[in-house]
């Protein structure tokens, strides 16, 4: 196949994170590929302006109804209505329903799996706890009933792709366990921060050393653990990002002088904070966790969960610290271990240098062209 017509499919476009950086990396390889998605919130995702975006019928619903947590039962239909018959290759990048697209026999559907649908499989108990609190606890039996049948449907949808590619070995194992499918390859997401070409933004002069979090602020990231531990140990923590859990996290920080919320920043500003932080904290179990690897590319170690995808690329006590669980005590012990290591920034940078855009593109071209 000399010049295949390629289409990209993604669950929804309404934020920026590791998955969205993957889409931009794929755009660099397939610049003419349109991007099909359920809903597109332009003002929340300026990064997507480089794509020709095609949305589903869900885009025409009132905005307050376009929240994916309210639309899970309609999502499969939204993706099934796309006509992809003109394309030779369809690449779905998904942690939910983009894998539901229907393709013709002449079209090869490759699913780049971020993770099997979290609230149905690996994180279902956590979602039940986080979303059905207080008086809403009475709805938990209804959710469990829904989950039982939704898993059956999700397993059926997961048979539609012709091939699977996973973002980490962790996800490769999950795909086999949850969907009974074998991944053809693991392709790690690339580091897109170009240290040589990107100018270092002049940052405010901080008179303190600080740990760093760069993340969407959502419950499963366990940023609450990092806040509690840093407050207890009187260590400064800078948090870059926004999300649905922000109000709860700010309340937890309770105007502490040790916790600093900066919201969204530019790539240059984020790079600056990577380069001068003590370490990147990533407490929750991540499918991959790209910001930890970006911090390492800037020469700083990462303190991350041992079961996260990025842990496959971290040498404990050499390029980072691996913690055993998401509990406060585990992070506390991890910071203690961090304090006892003499870190070599050059070695940390070199360890992840191979995860560049060229390597990512080479791996994808092998998948496409054989």
CB contact at 8 A, 99 and 111: yes
In the chain, % of residues over pLDDT 70: 92
Answer yes or no: are the C-beta atoms of 276 and 250 closer than 8 Å: no
Q: Break the chain into its structural domains and give their ranges.
A: 6-116+158-190+356-369, 210-351
The whole-number pLDDT of residue 238 equals 97
Mean pLDDT of 42-66: 88
Return the bridge partners of 260, or none. 238
Q: pTM value?
A: 0.89
Q: Outline where the chain has alpha helix (H).
A: 18-29, 75-80, 124-131, 140-157, 169-179, 223-233, 246-253, 267-276, 290-297, 328-339, 345-351, 357-369
Say what the alpha-carbon torsion angle 296, 300, 304, 307 is, to the nearest 10 degrees: 30
Kindly state which CATH superfamily the domain 6-116+158-190+356-369 is placed in.
Answer: Glycogen Phosphorylase B; (3.40.50.2000)
Q: Is the dihedral of CA 217, 49, 61, 112 positive or negative?
A: negative
Beta strand ranges found along 295-334 (DSSP E):
302-305, 320-323
Cβ atoms of residues 176 and 244 within 8 Å:
no
Q: Does domain 210-351 have CATH number 3.40.710.10?
A: no
Closest alpha carbon to 210 in 164, 273, 155, 167: 273
pLDDT tens column, 84-133: 999 999 999 999 999 999 999 999 999 999 999 988 887 777 776 666 66
Tell me if domain 6-116+158-190+356-369 and domain 210-351 are identical in fold.
yes
In tens, the pLDDT along 278-290 reads 999 999 999 999 9
pLDDT on residue 369: 83
Q: pLDDT at position 63, please? A: 75
The rounded mean pLDDT for the chain is 91
Report yes or no: 101 and 162 within 8 Å, Cβ to Cβ: no
10 Å Cβ neighbour count for 257? 10
Distances, alpha carbon 253 to alpha carbons 208, 227, 261, 350, in Å: 18, 7, 10, 36
């Amino acid at each position: 196949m000399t010049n295949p017509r390629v289409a990209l499919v993604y669950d929804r476009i309404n934020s920026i994170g590791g998955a969205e950086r993957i889409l931009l990396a794929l755009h660099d390889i397939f610049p003419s590929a349109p991007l099909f998605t359920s809903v597109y919130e332009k003002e929340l995702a300026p990064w997507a302006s480089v794509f020709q975006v095609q949305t589903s019928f869900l885009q025409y619903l009132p905005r307050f109804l376009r929240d994916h947590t309210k639309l899970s039962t309609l999502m499969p239909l939204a993706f099934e209505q796309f006509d992809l018959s003109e394309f030779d290759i369809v690449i779905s990048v998904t942690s939910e329903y983009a894998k539901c697209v229907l393709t013709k026999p002449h079209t090869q559907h490759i699913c780049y799996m971020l993770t099997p649908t979290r609230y149905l499989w690996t994180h279902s108990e956590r979602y039940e706890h986080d979303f059905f609190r207080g008086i809403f606890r009475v709805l938990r039996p209804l959710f469990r009933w829904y989950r039982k049948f939704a898993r059956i449907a999700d397993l059926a949808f997961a048979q539609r792709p012709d091939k699977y590619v996973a973002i980490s070995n962790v996800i490769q194992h999950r795909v086999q366990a949850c969907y009974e499918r074998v991944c053809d390859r693991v392709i790690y997401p690339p580091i897109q921060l170009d240290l040589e070409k990107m100018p270092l933004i002049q940052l405010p002069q901080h008179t303190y050393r600080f740990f760093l979090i760069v993340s969407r602020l959502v419950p499963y990231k366990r940023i609450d653990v990092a806040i509690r531990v840093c407050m207890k140990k009187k260590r400064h923590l800078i948090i870059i990002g926004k999300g649905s859990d922000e109000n709860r996290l700010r309340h937890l920080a309770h105007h502490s002088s040790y916790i600093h919320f900066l919201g969204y920043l530019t790539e240059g500003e984020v790079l600056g904070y990577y380069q001068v932080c003590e370490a990147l904290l990533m407490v929750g179990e991540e499918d991959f966790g790209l910001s930890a690897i970006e911090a390492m590319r800037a020469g700083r170690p990462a303190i991350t969960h041992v079961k996260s995808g990025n842990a496959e690329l971290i040498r404990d006590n050499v390029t980072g610290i691996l913690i055993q669980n998401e509990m406060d005590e585990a992070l506390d012990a991890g910071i203690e271990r961090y304090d006892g290591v003499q870190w070599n920034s050059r070695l940390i940078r070199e360890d992840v240098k191979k995860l560049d855009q060229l390597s990512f593109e080479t791996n994808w071209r092998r998948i496409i062209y054989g």
